Chain A
Amino acid sequence: MTPRKYLVLAGVTVFSAAGDSLLSVGMKQIGGIPLHDFRHLLLAILNPWVAGGILLLIAFFASYTSALSWADLTYVLPASSLGYVLIAFIARFGLHEQISVTRWIGIALITSGVGIVAGGPSLTPPHPVVRSAAPIPSSAASRGKP
C-alpha cells in the first residue's frame, strides 16, 4: 500500500459521501418524482446540486473501480461504508444536527470494522497454493522515476 493508494481509498469515501449529500439536497429542492414519468428525472439533472452530485458520484465510481484493480473487494467495500460515518460527522458538526445514541453506536461499529480490515493485507492471492510464486513488486518501478 502506497500513499497514492490510500489517497484513492480516501477518494472512495469522500466522493461517495459528498455525492450522496449533494444529491439529497438537490432532490429535496425538486420534490417527489413520479416513478412512471422519466421526463421529471431528466429535468432533475438541470438542478446544480443534482448535477454536482452526479459528477462526484462519477468520481466515486472512478476511484472505486481503480481501487478494485489492485485490492480485494472485501478490502475496498468497508472503505466505501466509511462514507456513512463522514456524512454523520458533517451532519453533527457542520449542520449541527442531533445524532442519536444508536447512530453513534453504528458509527463505532462501522469504524471498527474498517479498522480491522485496514490492518490486514489489501490483496490476497486468488488460489491457496501461490506461495511459491515470486513476491509482487510493490510498485518499485514507479518510485524509481524522477
Chain B
Amino acid sequence: MKLHYAWAAIAVIVIASTAGDVLLSRAMKQVGDVGERWRRSGLVSVIARVLRNPNFIFGLLAMSAAFYSLLFGLSWGDVSLIAPASASLTFVANAVAARFILHERVDGRRWAAALLVAAGVVMMAI
C-alpha cells in the first residue's frame, strides 16, 4: 500500500514539475531575452515584466506544488526510489511536453539526450 502512495507521489511530482517547466519556459519566451532587455531598460523593468507574466506565476505555483509533493513523497517512500524516479521521468515528460505543447523541434538528438540523462539519473541512484 505504501508503495502505491510512493508511486502516486511520483506521478504528482512528474506532472507538477513538467507543468512548471513548460509554463516557465513559455513565460520566459514571452518576456524575451532578459540579457538584452536588461541592457535596454534596466533590471527592475525586467523583473517587473517577468512577475507580471501569468504563465510565470502559474509556473512558480506548479514548481512549489512539485516541491511539496516531493516532501510528502519522501515521508511515504524511500528517497532512493522517489528522487531518481521522479527526476528521470520528468526529463522524458518534459521532452514530450516540449515537443507537443511548446512545439520545440525535439529531434532524434534531443530524444536520445532525454533518455540518456533519464537513464543516467537512475544509474546514479542505484
Contact = CB atoms under 8 A, between A and B. Distances in A.
Main secondary structure of the interface of A (DSSP, over half): helix
23 contacts: A8-B35, A64-B24, A66-B34, A68-B28, A72-B25, A72-B98, A73-B21, A73-B104, A74-B95, A74-B98, A74-B106, A81-B91, A81-B120, A102-B126, A106-B123, A106-B124, A107-B124, A109-B117, A113-B117, A113-B120, A114-B113, A126-B102, A142-B36
B50 interface: yes
A139 interface: yes
A58 to B, nearest CB: 12
A69 B25 CA distance: 7
Interface in B19-37: 21-22, 24-25, 28-29, 31-36
B124 A84 contact: yes
A69 B121 contact: no
Interface in B61-107: 71-72, 75, 91, 94-95, 98, 102-107
Interface string B27-63: 0110111111001000000000010000010000000
Given A68-B24, A109-B116, A77 B94 contact: yes
Count chain B CB atoms within 10 A of each CB in A4, A105, A124 and give the residue with the most.
A124
Main secondary structure of the interface of B (DSSP, over half): helix
A28 to B, nearest CB: 13
B79 to A, nearest CB: 11
B12 interface: no
Interface residues of A, number: 44
B24 A102 contact: no
Given A105-B123, A109-B116, A117-B110, A69 B33 contact: yes
Interface string A52-85: 0000000000001110111011111110010010
Contacts of B8: none
Contacts of B3: none
